[in-house]
Every structure is written in C-alpha cells, then in structure tokens.
Amino acid sequence: MQETDPICPLCDRPIPPGVPQSLHHLVPKLKGGKGGPVVLLHHQCHREIHAALSEAALARDFNTVEALRAHPRIATYVAWVKKRPPDFASKVPGRRRKR
C-alpha cells in the first residue's frame, strides 16, 4: 500500500494498484446521471451497491455516498468489509435485490 493509493469512499479502505476498481455514477446513467458525479470504488463495493439497490432507488434516494452508507444492507457490508485487507475480494452474497 502506498500513501497515494486512492481511498474507497464507501469502505474507507485504500485501493492499491492491481485491485479491481470501478467508477460508480451517483445518479445512474439510465436515470439522467450521464456526465454527473462519479466516485472510484473497489469493484466489490460497487457490486454490493448494485446488488442491494435498484437503479430507481439509487437515483431517487441513494445518490450520495452518505446515503449509500446509511442503507441497512450496505452498512452491514461496510462494517464487514472494513475488517478485510484492501486487496480482499469475494463474491457478493445473496440475491441481487428483492423484486
């Protein structure tokens, strides 16, 4: 880990070089967020967001990092993943989201 590694705003862990990462549109592109603000996340953190929340919910209620962290499933995930090393990766557990 280097001091210049970006920090994942969801889990507050560094994102070292070589660790899968992705940009998350705070407002989904399909819901008018194209060209809007994005945040760099661990790919695993990004997958958890989309497994827990629909595009509509993301656009309507969860379009900030603070709002995402307040969601019960995401809060549980963050508490769990913070104890893991920055290069930790696993499958996102559970069904995508309730329909």
* Cα 75 from Cα 67, distance rounded (Å): 10
pLDDT exceeds 80 at position 95: no
Tell which phi-psi region holds residue 60, choosing left (phi > 0), alpha (psi between -120 and 50) or beta.
alpha
In a domain, 93, yes or no: no
pTM score of the predicted model: 0.85
- Are 5 and 15 in contact by the 8 Å Cβ rule? The answer is yes
Is residue 94 included in any domain, yes or no? no
Does 6 map to a domain? no
* Residue 16 in domain: no
**Structural domain containing residue 45:** 21-81
Q: Would the pLDDT of 16 be above 60?
A: yes
Q: What angle do CA 67, 84, 48 make, to 5 degrees?
A: 40
Residue-wise pLDDT for 33-80, tens only, equals: 888 999 999 999 999 999 999 999 999 999 999 999 999 999 999 999
Paired tokens of 11:
């889990």
Structure token pair of residue 91 = 């499958």
